[in-house]
């Protein structure tokens, strides 16, 4: 065993000691730990276990120096001084964060830590929603002065002071076991963290990757990359899993591979970017995502992540722009055809949307072969096998066909004389918000009150929805009517119905609108797929 071997030491901490260790900045959280994921129910269950005397497992800590820094633990911010003996949590962040926040008045208002003690029934409960007035918040239970004040404010429960004292003594007697390691380096701790994560509450693949491979020096994370791309392009927030898939796909086509040891020597041997480290990979992933999303917006008329019909499209396009940052104009045109041929064939069911198909696409994109890569992508979707007429679907924006049709509506909307592209894209993103849906931008053409019994799902059809990216018209019904009259063509409204619309049969109105929408939408698909044109590669001049 080397002199650098880890030296474990076994300790125990009372709950108040853990609170004080966090408050003074001695307890820290390493970069490779995950963010807090527990729900209020998880926190309640933890304190119930502590109250019942059930074991909650060992904490694992790493004793080493820590710089002066601002530390956030749950809802608590601490200006922690530098110290040589900080305790870095390798395992136990969820438990420690829950304990110290539920005990601290600074977390009042954070629903995750809304936990109390029911003095009448002698049990731990959530303070969310309706609960007995005999429930004392835990942050008051652990503070004598605050607890006595609570009894003064709730005089009808004076007889329960004995129950309070019993609960205080029970919690105060709890000791949480911990193993403290000394002499370990960060790589060893990552291995330990990885093995710990093989059991317990599983992390998503992006969280495991982030924990084991997060960028250290510049602070980039998968989430910060998503934020940066959203700010720069107005494409909306990509999930951390989407960012991870792009990060892995740009380095090697098998984007579903295990992310452990992504930057180790073995992976470097077959990566398209063998010399890059973690920081460079994160930085380049951010750049390539910006290129890919702008291409989808500007060339493919897919304005926002909420309208991306097939998520793997972003992964493949990102790999292409990673290997060919400035492709030839002809190849960008052909790549657009591939995007929409793939989307439509996926909707039709003639090609799969699964991981195997995506890996096939990714393998087609090879370093040094820009034109050949595009040609192989086009060949991989095959020839035109149907008339490619997409029926207008229901307005369910979790469906690929609905997303594709709204992209077509968007394209027509954008071609209007009084639309400004970049500003409208920013407004689209703003109206959808970080966690909204494109459904938020669809308004009824014929209101539900006019339909009566919805026969055949006509009310729910996308033909009965208008894409409306206008703040004033969305907020005022009169302004909406004025806007619809002034922009009938932009909104794909049938001609000659403005005056007679109030008297027309609702079913007839929707049928006429469906004819217009179907024609315009399929014109868009025909234009984007360009089946009637030869997809020859650009001419290479010697």
pLDDT in tens, 182-214: 865 666 666 666 665 555 555 566 666 665 565
**Do 26 and 108 fall into the same domain?**
yes
Highest mean predicted confidence (pLDDT) among 202-206, 452-456, 473-477: 473-477
- For residue 71, the model assigns a pLDDT of 85
Segment holding 379, helix H or strand E: helix 370-381
Residues 456 and 362 in one domain: no
For residues 361 and 253, membership in a common domain is answered with: yes
Residues 5-33 have a mean pLDDT of 84
φ/ψ of residue 261, rounded to 5: 55, 35
Say yes or no to pLDDT of 224 above 90: no
- Same domain for 27 and 48? yes
Q: What is the average per-residue pLDDT within 159-168?
A: 95
The one-character DSSP state at 261 is T
Tell me which residue of 412, 378, 397 sits closest to 305, measured CA to CA: 397
Contact (CB, 8 A) for 366 and 253: no
> Are 133 and 51 in the same domain?
yes
Q: Which one of 139, 165, 194 terminates a domain?
A: 194
Q: Which residues contact 331 (CB under 8 A, 6 or more apart)?
A: 324, 370, 371, 374, 537, 538
**What is the extent of the structural domain holding 17?**
7-194
Residues 177 and 214 grouped into a single domain: no
Specify whether 328 is located in the same domain as 180.
no
| pLDDT > 80? residue 36 | no
For 271-336, the DSSP string reads -SSTT--HHHHHHHHHHHHHHHHHHHHHTT---SGGG-SSTHHHHHHHHHHHH-SS--HHHHHHHH
Nearest-5° Cα angle at 144, 140 to 149: 65
Mean per-residue pLDDT over the chain, rounded:
86
Residue 303 has pLDDT above 60, yes or no: yes
Question: In terms of DSSP H, where are the helices of 173-221?
Answer: 186-196, 205-213
Task: Specify whether 166 is located in the same domain as 262.
Answer: no
The number of distinct structural domains making up the chain is: 3
What's the pLDDT at 204? 61
Residues 337 and 419 both lie in one domain:
no
Give me 380's structure tokens: 């991989």
CA 192 to chain centre: 27
Whether residue 421 sits in one domain with residue 357: no
Q: Is residue 247 part of a domain?
A: yes
pLDDT at 3: 40
pLDDT of 219 above 90: no
Higher-confidence residue: 289 or 221?
A: 289
Mean pLDDT, range 335-342, rounded to an integer: 97
388 domain residue, yes or no: no
Partner residues linked to 277 by β-bridges: none
**What are the DSSP E strand ranges found in 54-100?**
59-66, 69-73, 76-80, 83-91
> Hey, CA dihedral for 114, 120, 124, 126, is it positive or negative?
negative
Tell whether 537 is covered by a domain. no
* Whole-number Å distance between alpha carbons of 186 and 196: 15
Cα separation, 441 vs 400, in Å, equals 17
Between CA 216 and CA 65 the distance in angstroms is 16
- Biggest CA-to-CA distance, the chain: 95
Q: How far apart are CA 326 and CA 182, in angstroms?
A: 50
| CB neighbourhood size of 55 (10 A) | 9
Spatial separation of the C-alpha atoms in residues 99 and 316, rounded to whole Å? 44
Look at residue 393 and tell me if it is in a domain.
no
Mean pLDDT, residues 435-456 taken together: 75
Hey, what are 40's tokens? 């209020």
Cβ neighbours of 204 (radius 10 Å): 14
Report if residue 371 sits inside a domain. Answer: yes
Domain assignment present for residue 254? The answer is yes
* Structural domain ending residue among the three candidates 139, 159, 194: 194
Report yes or no: 172 and 14 within 8 Å, Cβ to Cβ: yes
Residue 392 counted as domain residue:
no
The answer on pLDDT for 416 being more than 80 is: no
Overall residue count recorded for the chain in this entry: 542
Residues 189 and 226 in one domain: no
List, for residues 84-136, the tens digit of each pLDDT value.
Answer: 999 988 888 899 999 999 999 999 888 899 999 999 999 999 998 777 889 99
**pTM for the model:** 0.65
Average pLDDT (240-244) is 93
- The dihedrals phi and psi of 365, each to the nearest 5 degrees, come to -95, 105
Indicate whether 29 pLDDT > 90.
Answer: no
364/377 Cα distance (integer angstroms): 6
Band (pLDDT 50/70/90 cuts) for residue 227 is confident
Last residue of a domain, one of 167, 194, 221: 194
Statement to judge: residues 478 and 525 lie in one domain: yes
The C-alpha atoms of residue 413 and residue 424 are separated, in whole angstroms, by 10
Q: Please check whether residue 391 lies inside any domain of the structure.
A: no
pLDDT tens profile 367-392: 999 999 999 999 999 988 766 688 89
**Chain Cα centroid distance, residue 219:** 19
pLDDT 10s digits, 517-526: 999 999 999 9
Q: Which residues pair with 466 in a beta bridge?
A: 443
């Amino acid at each position: 065993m080397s002199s650098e071997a880890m030296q474990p030491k076994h300790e125990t901490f009372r709950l108040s000691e853990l609170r004080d260790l966090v408050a003074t900045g001695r307890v820290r959280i390493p970069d490779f730990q995950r963010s807090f994921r527990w729900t209020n129910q998880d926190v309640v269950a933890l304190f119930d276990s502590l109250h019942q005397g059930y074991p909650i497992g060992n904490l694992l800590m790493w004793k080493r120096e820590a710089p002066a820094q601002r530390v956030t633990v749950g809802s608590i911010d601490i200006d922690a001084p530098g110290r040589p003996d900080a305790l870095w949590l390798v395992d136990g962040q969820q438990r420690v964060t829950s304990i110290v926040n539920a005990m601290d008045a600074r977390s009042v208002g954070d629903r995750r830590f809304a936990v109390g003690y029911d003095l009448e029934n002698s049990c731990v409960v959530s303070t969310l929603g309706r609960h007995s007035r005999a429930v004392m918040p835990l942050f008051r239970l652990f503070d004598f002065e605050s607890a006595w004040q609570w009894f003064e404010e709730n005089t009808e429960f004076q007889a329960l002071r004995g129950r309070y004292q019993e609960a205080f003594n029970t919690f105060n007697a709890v000791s949480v076991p911990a193993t403290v390691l000394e002499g370990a380096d960060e790589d060893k701790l990552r291995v330990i963290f990885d093995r710990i994560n093989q059991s317990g509450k599983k992390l998503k693949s992006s969280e495991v990757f982030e924990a084991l491979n997060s960028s250290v020096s510049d602070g980039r994370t998968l989430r910060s990359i998503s934020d940066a791309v959203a700010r720069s392009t107005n494409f909306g927030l990509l999930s951390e899993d989407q960012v991870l898939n792009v990060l892995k796909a740009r380095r090697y086509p098998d984007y579903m591979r295990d992310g452990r040891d992504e930057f180790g020597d073995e992976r470097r041997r077959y990566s398209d970017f063998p010399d890059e480290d973690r920081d460079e990979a994160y930085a380049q992933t951010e750049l390539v995502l910006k290129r890919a999303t702008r291409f989808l917006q500007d060339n493919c008329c897919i304005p926002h992540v909420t309208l991306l019909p097939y998520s793997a499209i972003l992964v493949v396009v990102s790999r292409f722009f990673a290997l060919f940052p400035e492709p030839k104009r002809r190849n960008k045109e052909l790549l657009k055809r591939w995007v929409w041929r793939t989307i439509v064939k996926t909707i039709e069911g003639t090609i799969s949307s699964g991981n195997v198909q995506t890996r096939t696409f990714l393998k087609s994109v090879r370093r040094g072969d820009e034109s050949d890569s595009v040609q192989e992508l086009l060949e991989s979707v095959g020839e035109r096998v149907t008339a490619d007429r997409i029926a207008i679907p229901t307005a369910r924006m979790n469906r690929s066909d609905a997303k594709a049709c709204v992209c077509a509506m968007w394209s027509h909307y954008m071609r209007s004389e009084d639309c400004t592209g970049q500003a409208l894209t920013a407004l689209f993103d703003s109206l959808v918000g970080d966690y909204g849906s494109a459904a938020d931008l669809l308004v009824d053409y014929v209101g539900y009150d006019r339909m009566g019994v919805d026969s055949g799902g006509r009310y729910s059809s996308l033909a009965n929805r208008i894409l409306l990216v206008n703040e004033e018209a969305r907020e005022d019904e009169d302004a909406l009517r004025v806007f619809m009259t002034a922009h009938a063509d932009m909104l794909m409204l049938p001609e000659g119905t403005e005056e007679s619309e109030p008297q027309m049969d609702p079913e007839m109105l929707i049928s006429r609108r469906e004819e217009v929408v179907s024609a315009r939408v399929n014109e868009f698909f025909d234009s984007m797929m360009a089946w009637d044109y030869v997809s020859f590669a650009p001419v290479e001049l010697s």
